[in-house]
Amino acid sequence: MKLHLYFVREKFVRSLLLSIQYASIVGLFVESWIIFRRLKHAPLSYLFLSCLAILVNNIGYLFQLLSTTEEAYVTALRFSYAGRTWITLFLFMFTIELCKVKFPKLIKNSFVIVHILIYLSILTITRHNLYYTWTEFSTDKIFPRLLHGNGIVHHIFMALQFFYIAMGFNWLFRSWRKANNHTRKKRLMSVIISFFIEFLFFIIHQTKLIELARVYDITIFGYVIGIVVMFVAFFRYDLLGTKEIARDFIIDHLSEGIIAVDANDNIQYCNKTAAEIFPGIESDSANLIQKIKDAVLNKGAISIKDRFYSAEENDLLRDKKNFGKLYVLFDTTEQYEHLKKEKYNLQKELRIDPMTGLYNRKGMEYFSDILYKEALQKGKSLFVCICDMDGLKFINDNFGHGEGDRAIKNLSQIITEAADEDDMAFRIGGDEFLILGLKDDVTKTAEEFSARTEKIIAEWNQKLKLPYTIGMSYGPILQKITGAANEFSDLLRKSDTAMYQMKRKNGMYRR
């Protein structure tokens, strides 16, 4: 009778534990699905991966419990460790993201490599004694077991798990103490409780404090209870932080860059746009913040890769206490280019003579300096020719000032036509003009200009058939630029002298 009751009780316990195993798998699958559907947030990514790892572990362990041979058990063990190897690491990463801990990426990657090596040692567990120093398959209890001695890789794996747990709790409690928001405190506490439960059963399993831990992986209870706590946190305290995720999503997709700094100008947050504007935002944060401050102070723009950004500074206040600064960066490239273009157009208008459309004296002062420097740099000659209309007073006195203006316009077109294609023409006074140009040939240009100008003047007078003749005196000078003092002024004087010599020769005015 006692033997019968023993087997009935053993069968009941076996069925109960298998039911718990199946329930944990179903629960983890549901939780993984919920997280996966909201998977656009870094903490959720790691939480999903940890749930997936626990799911794989539990399925593998279920196969272990149902194994009848050592070979089947070891195969199930390998499958189980495909998840178990990563559970604490993913929860560790989840904690880093949840608590916004600045953790070196290099160390994160190193941990991943170590865990890959640990799993490789488990895949080849029958070929060495690195993970288990010895093994013995036993079926003397309600479930099959693989009795074993722990090797160096097993010790490293356990040490890493204790490290992850200790650091995770440290960060969670520190974040919980610093949290000002009541809802966030509840979220963090729910995570702390969930992790504590899983940690408690992990300790019980490792120390074998209860008899059940000798025949069954008691950490499964921790995972199941932890899942229940997580489910409560999901729906009661919005553990996934839907509002925060939505806010972060909106902020990340703003066209403006957002940077928050603490009282010591250390960057505490930046959105996706700010990270794209400043790729080295973490490595050179001090210089970056100083640039932004200077832009705010001087009401200027920050130039980065042919783009221009203006900055706005705001105080981060809560309960009248200043926690730092919030900088907003606006892409003002289009406005800057528009203002630049407007400024250029305005400057151009100021350099243009409205009557003739030629550049005026301001234009001459601006472009003469450019042409002179270019001639000096390229070793070219500068063509300078001052032109002065003949007989403008006669036209004004006899035909009116309107006709005089018309004559000036006609002369400006004659000068434009007489000048070479690359030359520049200026109206520098009432009836006084200037032609400037860079030349290679020193000998022929002045003579060619004179011949061409006389021919064009004759053609225009014949075409216009006016009651007066349009004429002008001019002094073409072509000289190699050497960079001597007052060289350009001397050229103007030479041209002016030559122009007056021609004017005297022409008798000031001819009909």
Spatial separation of the C-alpha atoms in residues 26 and 21, rounded to whole Å: 9
Give the residue-averaged pLDDT of 236-248.
57
CB 125 within 8 A of CB 79: no
Domain with CATH 3.30.450.20 in the chain: 255-336
Structure tokens at 420: 């070479």
Cα distances (Å, whole numbers) of residue 380 to 363, 377, 495: 22, 8, 18
CATH class of 255-336: alpha beta
User: What pLDDT score was predicted for residue 76?
Assistant: 92
**246, pLDDT greater than 60:** no
Res 56 pLDDT > 50: yes
What is the per-residue pLDDT across 32-55, written as a single tens digit (0 to 9) for each? 556 555 555 667 778 778 878 888
Q: Using DSSP, state whether 317 is helix, strand or coil.
A: strand
Average confidence score pLDDT of the chain: 81
| Confidence category of residue 435, pLDDT binned at 50, 70, 90 | very high
CATH 3.30.70.270 positions along the chain are: 352-506
pLDDT higher for 319 or 479? 479
The CATH 1.20.1070.10 portion of the chain extends over 2-245
* Predicted confidence (pLDDT) at residue 168 exceeds the cutoff of 50: yes
CATH architecture of 352-506: 2-Layer Sandwich (3.30)
pLDDT, mean of residues 225-244: 63
Lowest mean pLDDT among 61-65, 129-133, 259-263: 259-263
Q: Which CATH superfamily is domain 2-245 in?
A: Rhodopsin 7-helix transmembrane proteins (1.20.1070.10)
The CA distance from 289 to 117, in Å, is 42
Cβ neighbours of residue 427 closer than 8 Å, sequence gap 6 or more: 353, 355, 356, 358, 359, 360, 361, 412, 433
Residue 325's identity, in one-letter code, is: K
Instruction: pLDDT band for 319, please (50, 70, 90 cuts).
Output: low
Q: How much is the pLDDT for 166? A: 92
More confident residue, 437 or 47: 437
**Residue 233 has what pLDDT?**
66
Q: What is the pLDDT of residue 179?
A: 75
Residue 7 clears pLDDT 70, i.e. is over it: no
Lowest mean pLDDT among 161-165, 268-272, 364-368: 268-272
Q: Does pTM surpass 0.95? A: no
Residue pair 148/132 in contact (Cβ under 8 Å)? The answer is yes
> What pLDDT, in 10s, does the model give residues 72-125?
999 899 889 988 998 889 889 988 888 888 888 899 889 989 998 998 898 889
So what's the pLDDT on residue 408?
93
Residue 416 reports pLDDT greater than 90: yes
